[in-house]
């Protein structure tokens, strides 16, 4: 078994580590000095480091991981890929690069440069488009606020369902999850300058294409950006992309990934009713992520989230459960974001069973 | 006096009148409401509720239904929980200012450090920050900025270019450490000691350079002189022009000048400097001499005040496009005009009510938005406070933050609890901890001396907002009696 270096390591890569620990003896997780990781690494064979060149000599293979703010670290990544290729390393690149840089590195490294951040499924609009209806159970996972990470939930549910023998297709915005078998979310469709109606048909075509190829029992779909506008100061993406997605595909089960301290149970139950009107589905499960909105976000008109301890997550869930007053009907489950599979899987399996019966 | 409703709760508002209209500023909703004259008189206690006509009573009831005229006030004056402050100071520092030297080659008349007899502030000394303190400061920033996407390292003095070797060392040490963050550098300088090497270095590192330049030669040299009494204008101005050439002309040039306005000077004479085409690329900021920490207080002449007001008037004409591009907003009054625009914009944001726990607008989070580190490694909230004041010391490189002291600076409104809770201008308060510092001790009585100026400033700005609104509605298109809310 070999060693591998992952750079720049961040919490966005955490959920994929299990897929690598079986294949590699030593995994060096190299994060920039100025970054902080909140997920504790307790896996055997994984080592946290900050000095890229110290780990460089120990590994023949390097994963260039995807991150949230690519622009900030782009030039550094470019330099490190160049140095790695000059030193005969094999690069697996999940980091989204400009096309001219991809070409440069492919020419330089040949088969030693493997670019994983491309879109494998390119779809075009039919002359007379019509909507495809999925045969699989579709699990939608959306974030209340832009900047939250729903890939943890998605990977855990996908893993749990697969371990129970179901065929799972995971579609993710977090490119690092390709190491867990996920398919990259086709952001190119929504960045396209075309009519919004066309985007709906294109995304639906994408779902049709991947379903035809993979024939999954369950599709786990991560929905990018925030689900709704938060306020007049924080537009949170206005919920445009989630709305377009909801018109392209129906959700059989929906998980809302929420930060702490947003509201009480009535808030989420009311939101669930609103979701039915807007997205065509209720909220089945609210997962509480260990992040909280910085109060100064409204004043600065810029959303900023900060991390809290897991005990705060449990306390908030207790508060939510205790805030079902005045005979408010409980239709939603709540759980910590990193334990969602235990709440979600049974519900998804029961929907699968009913699906089979109806056939 | 403000009218009470039938329950006896007085609305938390401030009344305003213009030559043709009547308004109230609602503190809870943070908006200015245009009202009929009789409603104004009712709110001003010249008409009782019973004397109002039925439709006027309905009008008042509708305002209350929409949340206006509430008597609600802040119950507890506190910026935030202590836990949140701990989080901000442990993870969200954005800007560190390093006093790399206390030495200066100039002896400016209004500089609080220049007067060795000034009891309010330390004075210039040949004291430099050691490499250990500088390195530890950068490491401190690294360990306390994990949740800040962008960090800035600023160099301050004295005159920081006198410690250029240390500045270079700090920059080279910092760059590899902050990979993965947006790292910026900045310097405040008199620009009299620039060498080719320095200017090359600043341009290579895209340093934000703030140069003190008070006006044309006669104005600048009146206050900003070398120790031998000679004026510094020629050297400063020439170095400014040379520095600009080192920066990429196709990109934004992060060079600006700060003009310290002496209220004894003629504004029009000061402005003649700005006709140089270099100021198409170099930004200009202005401030009056800050006399908080000097013994000689400003005396604003009538002529200065009149000319400033005239400049502001021309600025408003320009903003409202009433002179069809024949006037310009002078950079001298741009900050004020922009503050009016910001206030006007804030009226449009929906405010529901004052919160149960809140604070007046003045203080920043000490150490988070800006952390000032002196040559010996002591922490201060910024470079504008007295380094002699024990109240302003919020920790050090060696001990870390003193959270209790930081919290005290953040919550200075608690010193004047009752006054602040009842102040109509609390949202626009501009008093920070500096104004509560009475020779090293935080004092509510001392702070209260500055309250009137802060309230007057807010009142003046609201009047200017009203004027801007009326220029477009009343004088432009005619007046209506409808409730016009900004």
- The residue length of chain B stands at 486
Mean pLDDT over A18-26 rounds to 88
For B391, the token pair is 């109240």
A306 — contact with chain B (CB < 8 Å)?
Answer: yes
Per-residue pLDDT of B179-216, as tens digits, reads 999 999 999 999 999 999 999 999 999 999 999 999 99
Q: How far apart are CA A92 and CA A117, in angstroms?
A: 10
Mean pLDDT (chain B, rounded): 89
Closest residue in B to A73 (Cα) is: B180
Whether A35 and B146 lie within 8 Å, measured CB to CB: yes
A122 — contact with chain B (CB < 8 Å)?
Answer: no
b/e for B370-397, b at 16 or more Cβ within 10 A? bbbbbbebbbbbbbebbbbbebbbbbbb
Whether B178 and A306 lie within 8 Å, measured CB to CB: no
Task: Give the Cα-Cα-Cα angle A80, A86, A88 (nearest 5 degrees).
Answer: 105
pLDDT at B5 over 90: no
Q: How far apart are CA A242 and CA A222, in angstroms?
A: 10
pLDDT: which is higher, B485 or B356: B356
Name the band, by pLDDT with cuts 50, 70 and 90, for residue B355. confident
Inter-residue contact B153 to B123 (CB < 8 Å): no
A307 — contact with chain B (CB < 8 Å)?
Answer: yes
Contacts of B80 in chain A (CB under 8 A): 295
Which residues does A332 contact at the CB level (< 8 Å), separation at least 6?
A265, A268, A269, A272, A282, A283, A284, A285, A286
Chain A: closest CA distance from residue B148 (Å): 9
Whether A233 and B349 lie within 8 Å, measured CB to CB: yes
Q: How far apart are CA B177 and CA A53, in angstroms?
A: 14
Number of Cβ pairs < 8 A linking chain A and chain B? 45
Whether B179 and A36 lie within 8 Å, measured CB to CB: no
Residue A90 has phi, psi (to 5 degrees) of: -95, 130
A69 — contact with chain B (CB < 8 Å)?
Answer: yes
pLDDT at A359 over 70: no
Of B180, B182, B350, which is closest to A35 when you measure between CB atoms?
Answer: B180
Name the band, by pLDDT with cuts 50, 70 and 90, for residue B464. very high
Q: How far apart are CA A79 and CA A7, in angstroms?
A: 12
Whether A306 and B91 lie within 8 Å, measured CB to CB: yes
pLDDT: which is higher, B274 or B348: B274
A75 — contact with chain B (CB < 8 Å)?
Answer: no
Residue A323, SS3 per DSSP? coil
| Strand pairing category for A333-336 and B31-35 | unpaired
Q: How far apart are CA B301 and CA B123, in angstroms?
A: 29
Q: How far apart are CA B97 and CA B30, in angstroms?
A: 34
Which of the given ranges, A285-299, B77-91, B437-451, has the highest pLDDT on average? B437-451
A53 — contact with chain B (CB < 8 Å)?
Answer: no
For A207, the token pair is 């779902």
CA distances from A145 to A8, A259, B117 (A): 24, 8, 56
Which residues does B333 contact at the CB level (< 8 Å), separation at least 6?
B308, B311, B312, B315
Q: How far apart are CA B481 and CA B337, in angstroms?
A: 28
Contacts of A73 in chain B (CB under 8 A): 179-180
Identify the pLDDT of residue B6. Answer: 39
Residue B146, SS3 per DSSP? coil
The residue assigned the tokens 């200066």 is B104
Q: How far apart are CA B168 and CA B187, in angstroms?
A: 12
Identify the pLDDT of residue B477. Answer: 52
Q: CA quadruple B146, B147, B151, B156: dihedral positive or negative? A: negative
For B454, the token pair is 């802060």
Identify the pLDDT of residue B332. Answer: 86
Task: Give the Cα-Cα-Cα angle A342, A346, A350 (nearest 5 degrees).
Answer: 170
Out of A103-117, A279-293, A296-310, B245-259, which region has the weakest mean confidence (pLDDT)?
A296-310
Residue A330, SS3 per DSSP? coil
Name the band, by pLDDT with cuts 50, 70 and 90, for residue B479. very low
Per-residue pLDDT of B130-164, as tens digits, reads 999 999 999 999 999 998 999 999 999 999 999 99
Whether B179 and A76 lie within 8 Å, measured CB to CB: yes
Identify the pLDDT of residue B179. Answer: 94
Inter-residue contact A291 to A306 (CB < 8 Å): yes
Q: Model pTM?
A: 0.89
Name the band, by pLDDT with cuts 50, 70 and 90, for residue A304. confident
Mean pLDDT over B169-174 rounds to 98
Out of A341-355, B85-99, B442-456, which region has the weakest mean confidence (pLDDT)?
A341-355
Inter-residue contact B216 to B273 (CB < 8 Å): yes
Identify the pLDDT of residue A78. Answer: 97
Give the B-side interface with A, CB within 8 Å. 80, 84, 87, 91-92, 142, 145-147, 149, 151, 176-182, 349-350
Identify the pLDDT of residue B196. Answer: 96
Identify the pLDDT of residue A120. Answer: 87
pLDDT at B8 over 80: no
Name the band, by pLDDT with cuts 50, 70 and 90, for residue A22. confident
Interface-testing mutation among B180, B347, B352, with chain A (most A C-beta atoms within 10 A)? B180
Identify the pLDDT of residue B195. Answer: 97
pLDDT at B483 over 50: no
CA distances from A242 to A18, A147, A194, A208 (A): 30, 14, 17, 18
The set of long-range contacts for B39-46, using a CB threshold of 8 Å and a minimum separation of 24, is B40/B15, B42/B3, B43/B2, B43/B3, B43/B11, B43/B13, B43/B15, B43/B69, B44/B1, B44/B2, B44/B3, B44/B15, B45/B1, B45/B2, B45/B3
pLDDT at A156 over 90: yes
Whether A232 and B80 lie within 8 Å, measured CB to CB: no
| Spatial CA neighbour of A161 closest among A186, A132, A136, A134 | A136
Whether A295 and B145 lie within 8 Å, measured CB to CB: no
Whether B179 and A32 lie within 8 Å, measured CB to CB: yes
For A197, the token pair is 């109606």
Closest residue in B to A31 (Cα) is: B180
Which residues partner with A168 through β-bridges? A218
Identify the pLDDT of residue B254. Answer: 95
Identify the pLDDT of residue A98. Answer: 95
Contacts of A233 in chain B (CB under 8 A): 349
Inter-residue contact B292 to B286 (CB < 8 Å): no
Identify the pLDDT of residue B325. Answer: 65
Whether B146 and A34 lie within 8 Å, measured CB to CB: yes
Q: How far apart are CA A80 and CA A86, in angstroms?
A: 10
Mean pLDDT (chain A, rounded): 91
pLDDT: which is higher, B341 or A102: A102
DSSP string, B225-260: BBTTS-B-HHHHHHHHHHHHHHS-TTS---EEEEEE
Whether A72 and B142 lie within 8 Å, measured CB to CB: no
CA distances from B181 to A40, A251, B176, B367 (A): 22, 38, 10, 19
Per-residue pLDDT of A222-259, as tens digits, reads 999 999 999 888 889 899 999 999 999 999 999 999 99
Closest residue in B to A9 (Cα) is: B180
Chain B: closest CA distance from residue A193 (Å): 28
Whether A306 and B145 lie within 8 Å, measured CB to CB: no
Residue B206's Cβ-count burial label (10 Å; 0-12, 13-18, 19+) is middle
Contacts of B92 in chain A (CB under 8 A): 306
pLDDT at B482 over 70: no
Query: Residue B168, Cβ neighbours under 10 Å: how many?
Result: 14
Contacts of B176 in chain A (CB under 8 A): 33
Mean pLDDT over A98-127 rounds to 92
Contacts of A232 in chain B (CB under 8 A): 349-350
Q: How far apart are CA B326 and CA A245, in angstroms?
A: 51
For B3, the token pair is 């009218």
Interface-testing mutation among A13, A33, A290, A309, with chain B (most B C-beta atoms within 10 A)? A33
Contacts of B142 in chain A (CB under 8 A): 33-34
For B284, the token pair is 């200009």
Portion 210-239 of A in contact with B at CB < 8 A: 232-233
Whether A76 and B350 lie within 8 Å, measured CB to CB: no
Name the band, by pLDDT with cuts 50, 70 and 90, for residue B3. very low
Q: How far apart are CA A249 and CA B268, in angstroms?
A: 66
Of B142, B147, B349, which is closest to A232 when you measure between CB atoms?
Answer: B349
Whether B178 and A69 lie within 8 Å, measured CB to CB: no
Q: CA quadruple B108, B113, B115, B116: dihedral positive or negative? A: negative
For B160, the token pair is 């920081």
Q: How far apart are CA A51 and CA A30, in angstroms?
A: 7
Q: How far apart are CA B419 and CA B301, in angstroms?
A: 31
For B45, the token pair is 């206690």
Interface-testing mutation among B83, B89, B93, B179, with chain A (most A C-beta atoms within 10 A)? B179
Name the band, by pLDDT with cuts 50, 70 and 90, for residue B350. low
């Amino acid at each position: 078994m070999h060693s591998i270096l992952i750079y720049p390591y961040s919490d966005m890569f955490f959920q994929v580590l299990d897929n690598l620990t079986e294949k590699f003896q030593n995994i060096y997780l190299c994060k920039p000095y100025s970054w902080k990781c909140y997920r504790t690494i307790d896996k055997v064979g994984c080592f946290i480091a900050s000095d890229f060149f110290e780990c460089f000599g120990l590994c023949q293979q390097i994963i260039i991981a995807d991150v949230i703010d690519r622009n900030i670290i782009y030039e550094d990544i470019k330099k490190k890929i160049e140095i790695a290729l000059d030193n005969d390393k094999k690069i697996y690149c999940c980091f989204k690069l400009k096309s001219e840089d991809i070409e440069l590195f492919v020419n330089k490294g040949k088969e030693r440069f493997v670019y994983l951040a491309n879109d494998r499924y390119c779809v075009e609009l039919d002359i007379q488009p019509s909507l495809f209806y999925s045969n699989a159970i579709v699990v939608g996972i959306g974030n209340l606020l832009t900047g939250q990470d729903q890939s943890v939930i998605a990977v855990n549910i996908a893993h749990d369902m697969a371990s129970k023998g179901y065929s799972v297709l995971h579609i993710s915005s977090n490119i690092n999850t390709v190491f867990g078998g996920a398919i990259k979310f086709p952001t190119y469709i929504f960045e396209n300058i075309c009519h919004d109606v066309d985007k709906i048909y294109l995304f639906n075509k994408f779902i049709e294409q991947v379903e035809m190829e993979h024939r999954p029992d369950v599709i786990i779909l991560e929905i990018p950006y925030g689900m709704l506008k938060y306020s007049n100061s924080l537009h949170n993406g206005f919920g445009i992309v989630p709305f377009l997605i909801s018109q392209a595909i129906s959700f059989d089960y929906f998980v809302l990934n929420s930060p702490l301290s947003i509201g009480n149970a009535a808030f989420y139950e009311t939101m669930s009713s609103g979701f039915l009107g807007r997205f065509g589905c209720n909220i089945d499960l609210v997962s509480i992520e260990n992040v909280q909105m910085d109060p100064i976000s409204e004043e600065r008109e810029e959303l900023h989230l900060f991390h809290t301890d897991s005990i705060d997550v449990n306390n908030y869930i207790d508060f939510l459960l205790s805030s079902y007053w005045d005979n408010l009907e409980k239709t939603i489950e709540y759980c910590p974001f990193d334990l969602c599979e235990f709440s979600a899987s049974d519900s998804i399996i029961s929907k699968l069973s009913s699906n089979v019966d109806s056939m | 006096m403000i009218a009470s409703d039938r329950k006896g709760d007085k609305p938390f508002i401030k009344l305003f009148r213009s030559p043709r209209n009547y308004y109230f500023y609602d503190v809870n909703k943070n908006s200015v409401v245009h009202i009929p004259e009789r409603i104004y008189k009712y709110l001003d206690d010249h008409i009782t509720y019973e004397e109002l006509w039925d439709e006027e009573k309905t009008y008042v009831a509708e305002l209350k239904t929409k949340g206006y005229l509430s008597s609600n006030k802040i119950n507890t004056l506190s910026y935030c929980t202590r836990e949140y402050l701990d989080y901000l100071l442990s993870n969200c520092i954005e800007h560190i200012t390093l006093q790399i030297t206390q030495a200066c080659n100039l002896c400016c008349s209004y500089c609080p450090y220049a007067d060795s007899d000034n009891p309010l502030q330390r004075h210039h000394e040949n004291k430099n920050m050691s490499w250990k303190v500088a390195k530890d400061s950068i490491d401190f920033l690294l360990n306390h900025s994990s949740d800040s996407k962008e960090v800035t390292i600023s160099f301050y003095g004295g005159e920081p270019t006198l410690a250029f070797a240390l500045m270079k060392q700090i920059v080279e040490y910092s760059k590899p450490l902050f990979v993965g963050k947006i790292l910026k550098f900045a310097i405040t300088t008199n620009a009299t000691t620039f060498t080719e090497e320095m200017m090359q270095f600043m341009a290579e590192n895209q340093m934000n350079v703030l140069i003190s330049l008070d006006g044309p030669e006669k104005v600048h040299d009146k206050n900003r002189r070398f120790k031998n009494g000679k004026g510094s204008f020629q050297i400063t101005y020439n170095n400014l022009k040379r520095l600009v050439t080192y920066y990429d002309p196709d990109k934004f040039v992060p060079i600006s000048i700060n003009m310290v306005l002496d209220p004894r000077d003629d504004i029009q004479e000061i402005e003649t400097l700005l006709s140089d085409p270099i100021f198409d690329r170099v930004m200009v900021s202005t401030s009056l001499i800050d006399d908080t920490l000097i013994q000689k207080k400003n005396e604003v002449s009538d002529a200065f005040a009149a000319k400033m007001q005239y400049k502001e008037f021309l600025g408003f004409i320009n903003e409202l496009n009433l002179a069809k591009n024949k006037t310009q907003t002078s950079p001298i009054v741009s900050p004020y005009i922009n503050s009016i625009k910001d206030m006007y914009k804030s009226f449009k944001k929906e405010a529901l009510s004052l919160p149960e726990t809140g604070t007046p607008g003045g203080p920043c989070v000490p150490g988070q938005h800006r952390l000032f580190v002196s040559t010996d490694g002591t922490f201060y909230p910024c470079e504008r406070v007295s380094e002699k004041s024990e109240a302003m010391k919020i920790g050090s490189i060696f001990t870390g933050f003193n959270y209790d002291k930081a919290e005290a600076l953040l919550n200075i409104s608690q010193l004047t609890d009752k006054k602040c809770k009842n102040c109509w201008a609390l949202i626009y308060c501009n008093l920070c901890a500096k104004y509560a510092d009475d020779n090293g001790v935080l004092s509510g009585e001392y702070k209260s001396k500055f309250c009137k100026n802060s309230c007057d400033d807010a009142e003046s700005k609201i009047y200017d907002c009203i004027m801007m609104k009326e220029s477009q509605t009343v004088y432009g298109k005619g007046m209506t009696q409808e409730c016009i809310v900004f």
